[in-house]
Structure 1
Amino acid sequence: MRILDRYILYRFLFNFTSSFVILMFIFIFQTIWLFIDDLAGKGLDFFIILKFLFYLMPDLTEKVLPLTVLLSSILTFGTFAENYEFAAMKASGISLQRSMKSLIVFVTLLGGLTFYFANDVIPISQQKIYNLRKGIAQLKPAAVITEGVFNDFEGGMNIKVKRKHGDEDRLLEDVLIHVKDARGINKTVIQSETGELVSEEGNDILQLILRDGHYYDASTPTSPKKKKKYPFAKADFDVYTFNIDLSEVNNQDLEKDQNITTHKMKNVGRLRHDIDSLRDDNLKVIQAFSKNISNRMGAFVKLRPNTVAVKPMVHDTLTYADSLPSRKGFLGLFKEWEQVQLINSAKNSTSNILSSVKGKRQEIRNRKKIYNLHISAMHKKYALAFSCIILFFVGAPLGAIIRKGGIGLPMVIAIILFLVYYFLGVFAENYSKEGNIHPIMGAWLSTLVMMPLGIFLTRRATADKGMVKLPSFKELIGDLFKRKKNKEED
C-alpha cells in the first residue's frame, strides 16, 4: 500500500471511529429514555441494566453504522478539499477514483461485516433482550404493572392501577382486578381503593393486600334452569389478600431461552424456510375457507373438461330446462308462509356468511402482515450492507464538492441526508407491512433512492464541478421582465 493510500485510510478510520463512538453514545442515551420506565426504580441490579444496554447495542448499530459511513466520508474528503490536499492530489495526476481506492476496499469489507452482523449477531441480541425483559418481569412483579392500563399476569388475572408509589413502587392506588376462568371468561371482578405488594426475603409467597374494596363473582351453576337466573356473589371487604406462589419465579434464569422467535430473531436461512412455510400455510387456510364458504352457499362444483355431460330430457320438443320455473316465479311454487321462511333463511345464511368473511379477513390480513415482515427482514439484511457502500459514494464526492471540514456544515448535511434515508425506509417498511407495496421494494427503497444521488455526485466531483446552481428568485424575475420588454418592443 502506498503512503498516500495509508494516509487517506488513516484519516478516514480516525473520523469513522470517533463518529461511531459519539453517535453510539447519543443513540444509547436515546434508548435509555425509551426504557427508563422499565429500568428505573425497580430494584434491579446495576449489572443487569448494563447487560440490557449491551444487548441493545447491536440493534443500534443498524442505525448508527450508515450514518457513521456518511459522516466520516464527508468529513474526510471535505477536509482534504478545504486544506487543498485534494487539489495537490489532482495536480499530481491522482483522480478522485484513485484517491478513493483504499477506502472502497475498506467499505466493501465493512459491508460484508455488516451483513454478518445483521445476519448472526443482531438476531441473537434480540433473543437475549426478549429473554432478559421476560426474566425481569417475572423476577420483579411490580416492574410490569404500568399505571393507567390493564396488565396481564399468568393465571388469567389482569390488574389496573391508577398510581404506584412507595419503596420499589409496592404501594398501589385505585386497584381494579379481573380474574378469568379456564375458558377465558371474565368471572371475578375486584376493586379496592389501595393495595400493597408484600414479600419477605427467602419466602416463596408474594402477598397482594387490598383494602377498602368490593368483590363480585359470577357463579357457574350446573343446572340449565339456574343459568337463566344469572346468579352471582357480591361482597364488601376491608382487607382482602392474594397469595401468589413464587417458588418457580425465584428460580427464574434471566438468560433462559424462552424459544420465542420473531422475524427480528432469525437469520437468512431461517427466514427463507419460514417464508416458504408461511406461504404454504396461508394458501391452505385461504383454500379451506373458500371451500367452506362455497359449501355453505350451496355452490355447484364445476365439471371437469373430460366429464361426460348429461343429455337433457326431451319431451314434446321441450327440454328439461324449459320445464323449470322462471326465477320470478320460483317463490310461486311455495305457500305464502313458506315464502317468508325461505326469505328469512336466505337472509340469515347471507348474514352468517358475511360475518364469517369479515372475521376471517382480519386473520388473513394478520397472516399476510407476518409473511411480509419476514420477507422485508430478510432483504433488509442485504440492503443494510449495500447501503454502507452507497452512502460512502454519496458522502465522499459531496465532501469534495462542498470543501468544508469539521463538524459544522458536514454534520448538518450528513444528518439531513440520513434523515431522508431513514424516513424513506420507515415509510416504505410500514407500507410493505400492510401490503400496499411489495416487501422487497420496502426493504430496498431508501437504498435505491440514494444510489442515483451517489452516481450523480461522483460524476460531478470527478469532473471538478460544483453542485447544480439553481437560478435565484431575483434572476427569475429579471428574466421575466426582460422577456416582457422585448415583446413590447417587437
Structure 2
Amino acid sequence: MNVRLKKLDLLILRSFMGPFVVTFFIVLFTLAMQFYWLYMDELIGKGFGVLMTMQLMLYMSTTLFPIALPLGILLASIMTFGSLGENFELVAIKSAGISLYRFMRPLIIFIGIISVLAFFFNNYVIPVTNLKSYSLLYDMRNQKPAMNIREGFFNKDIDGFAIRVGKKEKDGQTIHDIVIYDHTSGRGSDKLVLARNGRMYPSKDKRYLIFELIDGCRYEEDNTKNNHAQTRMEFGKWYKVFDLSKFAFSRTKEELFKGNNEMMNVSQLNDNIDSMNKKLDLSAKDLDRYLDPYFSLYQKRKEDSLTFRRVSKGEGKISSYKRSFFDLVPDSSRRRVIQTTESNVRSMQRLVTIVSSDVKLRKESINQFEIAWHKKYTLSFACMLLFLIGAPLGAIIRKGGLGMPVIIAIAFFIIYFIISSTGEKLAQQSAVAPWYGMWLATGVLLPIAFVIMAAARNDSGLFNKEWYQRGWLKFKTFLGGLTGRKKNKTAA
C-alpha cells in the first residue's frame, strides 16, 4: 500500500511539473512582451544594441517572477487535475479509498517549498534586479535618439546646427549637395556652408561625426556693428567636426535609486520603518520647541524676576483680566502690539504648517514601506492560495488542455489581481491600513478556496452541463406539481 501511494505521489508530481514549467514560461514571456510593447516607442531609434536590449528584458523578466509564478501555478493545477479528471484517473483513485486531500498532499508540500523559495527570491533577488532594471530603463528612456541624417530633410539633432544632405550613396558615407546652417552664435543662422560632394563618417571612438566636404563655400555674416558685412570663402576640401558626446549612452549611479522601497528587502524595510517612526515621534517635540518662544508668559523664569512673582501670585493669568487685553495697552503702543501679535501668529501658523507637512510626508513614507513589507509575503502566499483554488477547480471541471482551464484560471487571476490592486491603492491613499489593503485579496479568496475544495471532495457538478440540466428538470417538475395542485383546488 505504501509503495502504491509513493507511485501516486510521483504520478501527481510528474503530471504537474510539465504544465507548470510550460505555463510559467509562457506567462513570463507574455508579461515581458507586454512590458516591451509598453516602452517600445521610447526605446526604438536610439541606437541600442541587441545585447543591451536583451539585458533590459532579462532584468525585467526577473522582476515579473512574482506575478508570473502564481498565475503559472493556477494554470498548471487546473490543467493537471482537469486532465486527471477527464481521463477518469481521479475516479479510480477515489474508488481505491484515497481521498482528494491525500492525493493533493505531495503537491501541497511542493507548492509550500515553492512559496518559501519565492519569498527568499522576492526578498533578496528582486530588490537587486529592480535596482538594475529601473536604473537601466531610466537611462535608456532619457537617452537621445541616434543621429539619423536622411536625404532631403533638415536634421536638427545637433544643437546649434541644421544639416541637409541632398543624396546619400549606398555606402552610407558618400554624400552630395550638403547644406549646413550654423546658429551657435545666438544671432540666427549667420553662418552657412554649402558643398557639392563629401563624406560623412564617425571618429574611431564614436565621439565625433566628421564631415569631409569637397568643392564648396562658406558664408559668414557680421551683424555686431549693424553693418551687415558678409564674407564668402571657397574651399577645395574642408572638415567640419560635430561633437556627439550627448548621444553617447551614459549610466546613472545606481545608488541614487536605492532609497525606493522596491529596492529593499524585509530587513531594510524594517529599519526604515523604525527610523521613520522615531522621526515622527520627534515631530511633536519639535512643534513644542518651535512654538515655545511665542508663549512668553509660560516660559520658565528666574524666581527672583518680576514676571515670576506676578505669575505665581495669579496676576499674570489671562483669566484674571476682567477687561479686554487691548484696553490695558496704552494708545501709543497699541498699534505696535497688534502688529507684533499678528506677525507672531503668522509665524506660528507657518511653523505648524511646516511640521504638519513634514508629518504627512513621513506618514506617507511609512505607509509605502509597510505596503512593500507586506507585499513580500502576500505574493508568496498567493502561490499557495491560487493552488488551493486551481487544484479542486480542475477536479470539478474535469477538462484538460488549454480550453476551459485557461478561461477559468484567467478569470480567477483577474479577480485576484483586481482585488489585490484595489486593496493596494486604498492602502497607498491611506484609506485603509497597509496590512488590510495588502491581505484583502487573500481574505476574500481564501474562504472561496475552502468552499471549492469541499465541493471537489463531494464530487460537485458545479461546472458540469448535465448537473444544471438535472437541476432545471427538477425545478420544472416542482413548478408543474404546484400548478397541478392549484388546478385541483380550483376544480374542487
Q: Answer whether TM exceeds 0.5 for this pair.
A: yes
* Cα distance in 1 for residues equivalent to 2:282 and 2:318: 41
1:54 Cα deviation (Å)? Answer: 0.3
1:96 aligned to 2:93? no
Change (3 A) 1:350 1:275: same
1:123 Cα deviation (Å)? Answer: 0.9
Change (3 A) 1:72 1:356: same
* Cα distance in 1 for residues equivalent to 2:78 and 2:141: 44
Aligned partners of 2:367 and 2:430 also within 8 Å: yes
1:30 Cα deviation (Å)? Answer: 0.6
For residue 458 of structure 2, the aligned residue among 456, 463, 471 is 463
1:377 Cα deviation (Å)? Answer: 1.4
For residue 40 of structure 1, the aligned residue among 32, 41, 44 is 44
- The residue number in structure 1 matching 2:174 is none
1:258 aligned to 2:255? yes
- The residue number in structure 2 matching 1:450 is 445
1:428 aligned to 2:423? yes
- The residue number in structure 2 matching 1:386 is 381
Alignment of 1:390-401 (within 5 A): 390-401=385-396
- The residue number in structure 1 matching 2:401 is 406
Q: TM-score, normalised by structure 1?
A: 0.69
Aligned partners of 2:82 and 2:394 also within 8 Å: yes
1:79 Cα deviation (Å)? Answer: 1.8
Which string of whole-angstrom CA distances, capped at 9 and with x for unpartnered residues, describes residues 4-37 of structure 1?
2222211111111121122112111110122113
1:245 Cα deviation (Å)? Answer: 9.6
Aligned partners of 2:389 and 2:449 also within 8 Å: yes
- The residue number in structure 2 matching 1:128 is 132
* Cα distance in 2 for residues equivalent to 1:199 and 1:357: 63
Residue aligned with 2:401, SS: coil
1:4 aligned to 2:8? yes
1:199 Cα deviation (Å)? Answer: 11
Residue aligned with 2:262, SS: helix
Alignment of 1:60-71 (within 5 A): 60-71=64-75
What residue identity is the alignment partner of 1:270? Q
1:253 Cα deviation (Å)? Answer: 5.8
Residue aligned with 1:93, SS: coil
Aligned partners of 1:119 and 1:267 also within 8 Å: yes
Aligned partners of 2:47 and 2:145 also within 8 Å: no
Segments of structure 1 that go 5 or more residues without pairing to the other structure are 144-163, 176-189, 208-242, 304-308
Change (3 A) 1:438 1:172: same
1:358 aligned to 2:358? no
Q: TM-score, normalised by structure 2?
A: 0.69
Aligned partners of 2:43 and 2:141 also within 8 Å: no
What residue identity is the alignment partner of 2:371? S
* Cα distance in 2 for residues equivalent to 1:299 and 1:252: 61
Aligned partners of 1:165 and 1:171 also within 8 Å: no
Which string of whole-angstrom CA distances, capped at 9 and with x for unpartnered residues, describes residues 354-379 of structure 1?
34433443343222222222222122
Change (3 A) 1:285 1:92: same
Alignment of 1:38-187 (within 5 A): 38-136=42-140, 140-142=143-145, 171=156
* Cα distance in 2 for residues equivalent to 1:63 and 1:45: 28
* Cα distance in 2 for residues equivalent to 1:293 and 1:260: 37
* Cα distance in 2 for residues equivalent to 1:312 and 1:281: 35
Change (3 A) 1:192 1:23: farther
- The residue number in structure 2 matching 1:273 is 271
Aligned partners of 2:311 and 2:317 also within 8 Å: no
What residue identity is the alignment partner of 1:10? R
What residue identity is the alignment partner of 1:95? S
Give the percent of matched residue pairs that are identical in Structure 1 and Structure 2.
29
- The residue number in structure 2 matching 1:155 is none
Change (3 A) 1:108 1:410: same
1:434 Cα deviation (Å)? Answer: 2.9
* Cα distance in 2 for residues equivalent to 1:125 and 1:191: 49
1:321 Cα deviation (Å)? Answer: 6.8
Which string of whole-angstrom CA distances, capped at 9 and with x for unpartnered residues, describes residues 210-254 of structure 1?
xxxxxxxxxxxxxxxxxxxxxxxxxxxxxxxxx98949x969568
Larger radius of gyration: 2
Segments of structure 2 that go 5 or more residues without pairing to the other structure are 161-185, 190-199, 211-241, 302-307
1:325 Cα deviation (Å)? Answer: 5.5
For residue 346 of structure 1, the aligned residue among 341, 346, 362 is 341
Aligned partners of 2:293 and 2:299 also within 8 Å: no
Residue aligned with 1:100, SS: helix
Which stretch of structure 1 is more off in the superposition, 319-328 or 12-21? 319-328
1:367 aligned to 2:359? no
Alignment of 1:224-373 (within 5 A): 246=245, 252=250, 257-258=254-255, 260-261=257-258, 262-296=260-294, 300=298, 320=315, 326=321, 328-336=323-331, 338-373=333-368
1:310 Cα deviation (Å)? Answer: 8.2
What residue identity is the alignment partner of 1:34? L
Aligned partners of 1:23 and 1:68 also within 8 Å: yes
